[in-house]
Structure 1
Amino acid sequence: MRWLERLSPRLGFLLLGLSAWGLVAAGFVIQEWERLNPCPLCIFQRVLYLLFGALALLGALLPLGPRGQKAWGLGLAGITLGGFLTALYQTTMQAVPGLVAECSYTDQGPIELFVDWLGMQYPTLFMATGLCSSREWEFLGLSMANWSLFCFLGFGLAALILSRCWSLLRQPA
């Protein structure tokens, strides 16, 4: 816990931002290497990781007071909540395919429409060509959606630590 006390909030936000963008880069490399077909929910999670990374890096660059630090951390935690719920929904689709409605191209919701628009703007990074219930890639028995669930959870906890608990950790006992 001593190392956490020495970590500045700016460095914490910087590490979170670079980690999120590194995760996107790793996912993209795996996608290309394994020739995976990302689905609309996969792409939406990618967008949330990119947004999380951008806001974390802004939090590292802009002046931080106690209120600013809390606001940045809570904003980042909110993004991770959205990502966690999206990954949980996709995990449910993969575990029990008939239980929830499949992402489809016939009756598109707001996420699919947004991802479709992004795919037209930047197809290399945002083109969705797969089905959300498909488990094309697994590592240690977990799909990409399962891993994303854990990553969003970790990023959310780290953001909450940076926002809410930081001052508690720095106070002497």
Structure 2
Amino acid sequence: MSHLLNRLTPRRGLLLIGLVSALALGGALVAQHFFGLRPCTLCHYQRIPHATLVVLGGLGGLLPLGLSTRRWLLAVGCLVALVGLGLAGWHVGVEQHWWAGTASCQAGGAQATSLADLRAQLAAGPAQPACDEITWSLFGLTMAGYNVLVFSALALLAGALAGGAPRPK
């Protein structure tokens, strides 16, 4: 990994971080809109750090910024990735029934107590799945599990580049 870090400038690192998060976010949207995998509440929460990293990566990689500003953006990116890692880890724990999710993680939402409630629920469309329902997995890892891996790698990369030896922009 040190060989990769020696070749990666902060600017390229920010671009890479933004690209990886854009791919992760794009993959989630494709799974949702083309394959019908509806996201739960915690899935929606995990999209926020990815979107933030796309913005940070774009700003830091495309704007003419100095080295110290890019390193500051990398440090912020590391913190954002750690927040995403926490959310993804929490989601994995909910999926494995190690702990409970939020109140909004329950499937189906509120029960209709009147005809007007029922009409409102039907108009709103299908309810979000419960956060502990595993709707997709590959090689034993769910989307939240893959997010743990992605956010871990992004946090390590951003942290290493933020605090590394002096390099060119």
TM-score of the pair, normalised by structure 2: 0.77
TM-score of the pair, normalised by structure 1: 0.75
Higher helix share: 1
Q: 1:133–1:3: structure 2 CA closer, same or farther, 3 Å change rule?
A: closer
Q: Distance in 1 between matches of 2:68 and 2:127?
A: 39
Q: 1:68–1:137: structure 2 CA closer, same or farther, 3 Å change rule?
A: same
Q: Distance in 2 between matches of 1:83 and 1:42?
A: 11
**Any residues of structure 2 matched to 1:57-72 within 5 Å, and which?**
57-72=58-73
Q: Is the 1:38–1:128 contact (alpha carbons within 8 Å) kept by the matching residues of 2?
A: no
Q: Is the 1:102–1:131 contact (alpha carbons within 8 Å) kept by the matching residues of 2?
A: no
Q: Distance in 1 between matches of 2:23 and 2:127?
A: 20
Q: Which amino acid aligns with 1:81?
A: L
Q: 1:82 and 2:83 equivalent?
A: yes
Superposed CA offset, 1:19-41 (max 9, x none): 21111111211223431120111
Q: Distance in 2 between matches of 1:81 and 1:105?
A: 22
Q: 1:139 and 2:147 equivalent?
A: no
CA-CA distance at 1:59 after TM superposition: 0.8
Q: Which amino acid aligns with 2:19?
A: L
Q: Is the 1:31–1:37 contact (alpha carbons within 8 Å) kept by the matching residues of 2?
A: yes
Aligned residues: 149
CA-CA distance at 1:138 after TM superposition: 0.2
Q: Which amino acid aligns with 1:8?
A: T
Cα RMSD of the aligned pairs, angstroms, is 2.6
Q: Which runs of 5+ in 1 are unaligned?
A: 107-122
Q: Percent identity?
A: 29
Superposed CA offset, 1:55-91 (max 9, x none): 1110112333342122111100111111111111111
Q: 1:52 and 2:53 equivalent?
A: yes
Q: 1:80–1:138: structure 2 CA closer, same or farther, 3 Å change rule?
A: same
Partner of 1:119: none
Q: Is the 1:43–1:128 contact (alpha carbons within 8 Å) kept by the matching residues of 2?
A: no
Please list every run of at least 4 consecutive aligned residues from structure 1 whose deviation after the TM superposition is greater than 4 angstroms. Answer: none
